[in-house]
Amino acid sequence: MIVTPTSTQSASRHDSPRLLADIGGTNARFALELGPGRIGLVEVLRCADYPTLEDALRAYQSMPHVAAEGTVRHAAVAIANPVTGDRVRMTNHHWTFSIAAVGRELGFATVAVVNDFTALAMALPHLGDDDKRQVGGGTPVPGEPIGLVGAGTGLGVSGLVPIPGVDGGWTALRSEGGHATFAPADEVEADILRFAWREFRHVSAERLLSGPGIELIYRALCHCRDRTPEAPDAAAITQRALSGACPLCAEVLDIFCGVMGTVAGNLALTLGAQGGIYIGGGIVPRLGECFDRSCFRSRFEDKGRLSPHLAGVPCYVITAAYPALTGVSAILAQQLHGIV
């Protein structure tokens, strides 16, 4: 996918509203784009409440304030899953669907479906200063690659690489880097890895950097220290850590942030991301200053002889509410170029 600067359009309203969706393993976010850059009517539905993607789409479209905007002819969906053909089967949820069948059943003339982190990467050039928060590093180098990583139900990885000779043009990477093998950086993480091997033959970075990953780290620490787990899930672990009520839960979050630093630093080296590393997903933006104070940045830069190289690379936490919708809008506009 290619990102180009947003072009000036004479019409303030599309001929028909465009439906935009950002589908994660837990929540599905829907919106309408009524005109260029005019994204609104955002609704968040729980995936578990709907048997299929089509059911969730129908539920959104049937909402009175959405239906009042008119018939949708074009739709774009960002989904937390590889998209390599017509058939999509979600990794972290039970939905499976045919892209063509969704278009036929819902009467869409166009249905674009892309990986959610491809869509989020597409949004990065459009983020303003109020849409992100810098965590360490210096100034991004214009025109250099940009990395993207984010933890939620799973771990997404992508990036933007500049297109030679195209001013402001970028190629978004279709990456599944979250499934790269996890490598421990100290004895505690080695213990966590040994514990995780009891459940999984392959322990990926996603096994730790996700909501279920927070729970795995917690269970591993309880096992290693002969303690009975008390926090039932990731939300409770996070709440107890942030409130100061549980030192063990606080250690879980610090380990999570440290592993995120290592993975983000690996990505920066792999891409040569002098344009910066962006951190999205549902978990890190909610940690606020706890993340900023954590060992994330020291672990990001902890690359031996390459540490000085990474010291200047800026990292940004994405704070915009629904950034992937901006990216998927750009993808749909590109696909419709010359059609609409």
Residues 202 and 267 in one domain: yes
Mean pLDDT of the chain: 91
* Domain housing 217: 131-319
Q: Which amino acid is at 83?
A: V
Query: Does residue 49 belong to any structural domain of this protein?
Result: yes
C-alpha closest to that of 124 among 332, 320, 335, 336? 320
Query: Does residue 282 belong to any structural domain of this protein?
Result: yes
State yes or no: pLDDT of 103 exceeds 60: yes
Residues 225 and 305 in one domain: yes
Residues 288 and 139 in one domain: yes
288-338 pLDDT tens trace: 999 999 999 999 999 999 999 999 999 999 999 889 999 999 889 888 874
335 against 180, higher pLDDT: 180
231-242 pLDDT tens trace: 889 999 999 999
Q: For 60-71, what is the mean pLDDT? A: 96
No. of helices (H) and no. of strands (E), the chain: 13, 14
Position 225 confidence tier, pLDDT thresholds 50, 70, 90: very high
State yes or no: pLDDT of 339 exceeds 70: no
Query: Cα–chain-centroid distance for residue 50?
Result: 22
Q: Rounded CA gap, 51 and 246, in Å?
A: 37
Torsion angles phi and psi, residue 97, rounded to 5: -160, 160
Q: Rounded CA gap, 43 and 212, in Å?
A: 25
Residues 37 and 166 in one domain: no
Place of tokens 């999205």: 280
Query: Does residue 126 belong to any structural domain of this protein?
Result: no
Residues 301 and 328 in one domain: no
Position 172 confidence tier, pLDDT thresholds 50, 70, 90: confident
Position 136 confidence tier, pLDDT thresholds 50, 70, 90: very high
In this predicted structure, what is the pLDDT of residue 7? 39
Residues 310 and 253 in one domain: yes
State yes or no: pLDDT of 227 exceeds 90: yes
Query: Does residue 207 belong to any structural domain of this protein?
Result: yes
Pairing, β 96-98 against β 87-89: antiparallel
Instruction: Report yes or no: 306 and 269 within 8 Å, Cβ to Cβ.
Output: yes
b/e map of 163-174 (b: 16 or more CB within 10 Å)?
eeeeeeebbbbe
Residues 19 and 148 in one domain: no
Residues 287 and 249 in one domain: yes
Query: Does residue 218 belong to any structural domain of this protein?
Result: yes
23-55 pLDDT tens trace: 988 899 999 999 988 999 999 999 999 999 999
Instruction: Report yes or no: 325 and 99 within 8 Å, Cβ to Cβ.
Output: no
* Token pair recorded at residue 323: 């950034």
Query: Does residue 98 belong to any structural domain of this protein?
Result: yes
* Token pair recorded at residue 148: 């993207």
In this predicted structure, what is the pLDDT of residue 334? 81
Query: Does residue 42 belong to any structural domain of this protein?
Result: yes
Q: How many domains does the chain have?
A: 2
Residues 297 and 275 in one domain: yes
In this predicted structure, what is the pLDDT of residue 231? 85
In this predicted structure, what is the pLDDT of residue 141? 94
In this predicted structure, what is the pLDDT of residue 1? 44
Residues 198 and 81 in one domain: no
**Model's pTM, two decimal places?**
0.83
Query: Does residue 285 belong to any structural domain of this protein?
Result: yes
Residues 41 and 162 in one domain: no
Position 3 confidence tier, pLDDT thresholds 50, 70, 90: very low
Residues 179 and 115 in one domain: no
What is the CATH classification number for the domain harbouring 274?
Answer: 3.40.367.20
What is the CATH classification number for the domain harbouring 70?
Answer: 3.30.420.40
Least confident of 116-120, 209-213, 249-253, 277-281: 116-120
Q: For 102-128, what is the mean pLDDT? A: 91
